[in-house]
Amino acid sequence: MQKDSKCKIISLNVRGIRDKAKRRKIFAYLKDQKAKICFLQETYSEFNDEVTWQSEWGGKIFFSHGTRHSKGVCILRDPLLNNVVEFSFSNKSGRIVLITIPLNDLKISFCNIYAPNNLSEQLEFIQELNNCLIDKSEVTSLIVGGDWNCTLSNKDKKGGVSWKSQRKRNL
């Protein structure tokens, strides 16, 4: 990224991209958007997918794998982006992936998350995320995105189970 350049970032919950045709359509869409960084959630990726998916994308992808049927997050960098990734981290549960890229005199951390749906698991996840961000990221220049699986109001919710107020959201 140039000193004065803009950095477009996209975040999508893809609900599984194991299907080759779907994955290629999503990759084509992301390239058309000309984003420098792409966050994908619910990839359903496994270690064995890395080489194929990176070949199809045309560049480096940073993964935190879930299973063939759930979880998984990744960060895709624009294949033309020449900044070196100085640091990367992924947790073992397929819910957090983080990279740090130097940009001129600054280091920027990008973190992609996929929070659990289950309220009892969300508190533990938030604690893990908090520790990760404090210990492993450039907190002063940090961009976090993803699927929080939490809506603050009815207008934030579309589809699925009807929204209802939860006391835990207000804590």
pLDDT at 170 over 60: no
Looking at residue 5, what is its pLDDT? 61
pLDDT at 52 over 50: yes
Domain-embedded: residue 128: yes
pLDDT at 168 over 80: no
pLDDT at 162 over 90: no
Cα distance between residue 108 and residue 91, in whole Å: 19
Cα distance between residue 26 and residue 44, in whole Å: 14
Helices and strands of the chain, counted as H and E runs = 3, 8
Could you list the residue range(s) of the whole structural domain that residue 132 is in? 9-170
Looking at residue 10, what is its pLDDT? 97
Domain-embedded: residue 1: no
Looking at residue 69, what is its pLDDT? 95
Domain-embedded: residue 92: yes
Domain-embedded: residue 45: yes
Domain-embedded: residue 88: yes
pLDDT (tens digit per residue) in 106-158: 899 999 999 999 888 999 999 999 999 999 999 999 999 999 988 777 776 66
Considering its fold, how many domains does the chain have in total? 1
List the CATH number of the domain containing 55: 3.60.10.10
What would the two tokens of residue 19 be? 């299907």
Domain-embedded: residue 2: no
What are the angstrom distances between the C-alpha of 110 and each of 55, 75, 81, 143, 146? Answer: 22, 8, 14, 5, 11
Domain-embedded: residue 130: yes
Looking at residue 1, what is its pLDDT? 47
Work out whether the CA dihedral 33, 39, 41, 46 comes out positive or negative.
positive
